[in-house]
């Protein structure tokens, strides 16, 4: 698979990342390990080198299951980049609501817990999962310094940060932020116009795209476009993707990912399927370069209105 340098740092990643959010959803350790093993090994075989985690994924079991796969074959760690996130805290009673916590104490403590669950000595990219409205940028910078000096983290990044929130943190941090992980897809276009991708290009920050297939709605197979729990409106874009995919002899999923890869900010889509076939099939997107006309045709349908 093609590779890309992450931000202004020294880490080089596969052009697609593998997202580990779903690899341990059964709450049965043996079943979770089987799912994780199948998905992670399929991703490695397909050329993925960046693996995306968060401390809250499957209540920590995703990191635990991934760590178990690494313990089975320790040499795998040599060629992988592990990214994980902290900062979201679930409710624990009426006096402790669901909240964000980017205090130094929580950042450092969460990092130690992730290292333990993953069974590794160092996290390659440690990200702040959501912007804390009580963030003290200087305090976060001190936490980053401590984690880096201790050898627990190589590089730092954020997730779901607006351009102004990222700038606030970067202004205080001694270490360059190498990634900003945000939702980007043909069904979620806000980063094109809110300054996120502009900032990424200007500051040499790599955008990681979570939900690049709109929660699976742009993946291959039948799509329930009337599902009431979906906020997206995928009918028109799915039809156009299918039309263009048939003309190119490829799939809807591949073109949806290729649309992201075409952007000059160097978007790295995070593929989250646990099906080995889909994990491998997604790599075809790295071999397709959409023309400017194709890219704008998809954008126009995705917007639902003509460009001004």
Does residue 289 have a pLDDT over 70? yes
Which CATH code for domain 3-222+254-291?
3.20.20.100
pLDDT-derived band at 226 (thresholds 50, 70, 90) equals very low
Neighbours of 95 (CB within 10 A): 6
Residue 222, pLDDT score: 58
Catalytic residue of the set 48, 57, 126, 232: 57
Q: How far is CA 126 from CA 147, 178, 203, 229, 235, in A?
A: 10, 10, 18, 31, 37
Is 57 a residue of the active site? yes
Return the closest-CA partner of residue 79 out of 44, 40, 114: 44
Give the model confidence (pLDDT) of 251-283 as tens digits: 999 999 999 999 999 999 999 999 999 999 999
What is the Cα–Cα distance from 193 to 245, expressed in whole angstroms?
27
Structure tokens at 119: 């069974």
| Domain coordinates in residue numbering, the chain | 3-222+254-291
Answer whether 39's CB lies under 8 Å from 48's CB.
Answer: no
Mean pLDDT on 73-85: 97
Does residue 227 have a pLDDT over 50? no
Mean pLDDT on 128-154: 98
Residue 228, pLDDT score: 42
Exposure of 257 in the CB half-sphere (CA atoms within 13 A): 30
Does residue 224 have a pLDDT over 80? no
Mean pLDDT on 170-183: 96
Give the model confidence (pLDDT) of 118-137 as tens digits: 999 999 999 999 999 999 99
User: What is the residue-averaged pLDDT of the chain?
Assistant: 94
pLDDT-derived band at 93 (thresholds 50, 70, 90) equals confident
Residue 231, pLDDT score: 58
What is the Cα–Cα distance from 238 to 243, expressed in whole angstroms?
9
Give the model confidence (pLDDT) of 193-216 as tens digits: 999 999 999 999 999 999 999 988
Q: Quick one: CA dihedral 46, 273, 32, 128, positive or negative?
A: positive
pLDDT-derived band at 225 (thresholds 50, 70, 90) equals very low
């Amino acid at each position: 698979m093609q590779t890309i340098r992450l931000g202004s740092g020294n880490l080089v990643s596969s052009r697609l990342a593998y997202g580990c959010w779903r690899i341990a959803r059964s709450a049965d350790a043996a079943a979770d390990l089987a799912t994780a093993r199948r998905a992670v090994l399929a991703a490695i075989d397909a050329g993925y080198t960046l693996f995306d985690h968060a401390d809250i994924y499957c209540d920590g079991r995703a990191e635990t299951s991934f760590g178990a796969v690494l313990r089975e074959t320790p040499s795998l760690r040599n060629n992988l980049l592990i990214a994980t996130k902290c900062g979201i805290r679930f409710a624990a009673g009426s006096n402790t609501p669901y909240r964000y916590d980017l205090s130094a104490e929580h950042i450092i403590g969460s990092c130690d817990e992730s290292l333990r669950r993953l069974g590794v000595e160092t996290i390659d990219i440690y990200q702040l999962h959501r912007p804390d409205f009580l963030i003290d940028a200087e305090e976060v910078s001190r936490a980053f310094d401590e984690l880096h000096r201790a050898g627990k983290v190589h590089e730092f990044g954020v997730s779901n940060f607006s351009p102004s929130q990222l700038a606030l943190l970067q202004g205080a941090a001694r270490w360059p932020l190498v990634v900003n992980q945000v939702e980007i897809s043909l069904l979620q276009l806000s980063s094109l116009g809110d300054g996120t991708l502009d900032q990424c290009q200007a500051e040499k920050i790599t955008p990681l795209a979570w939900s690049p297939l709109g929660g699976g709605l742009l993946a291959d197979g039948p799509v329930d476009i009337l599902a009431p729990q979906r906020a997206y409106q995928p009918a028109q874009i799915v039809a156009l993707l299918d039309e263009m995919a048939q003309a190119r002899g490829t799939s809807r999923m591949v073109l949806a990912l290729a649309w992201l890869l075409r952007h000059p900010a160097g978007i790295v889509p995070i593929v989250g399927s646990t099906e080995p076939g889909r994990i491998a099939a997604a790599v075809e997107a790295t071999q397709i370069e959409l023309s400017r006309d194709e890219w704008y045709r998809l954008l126009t349908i995705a917007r639902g209105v003509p460009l001004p």
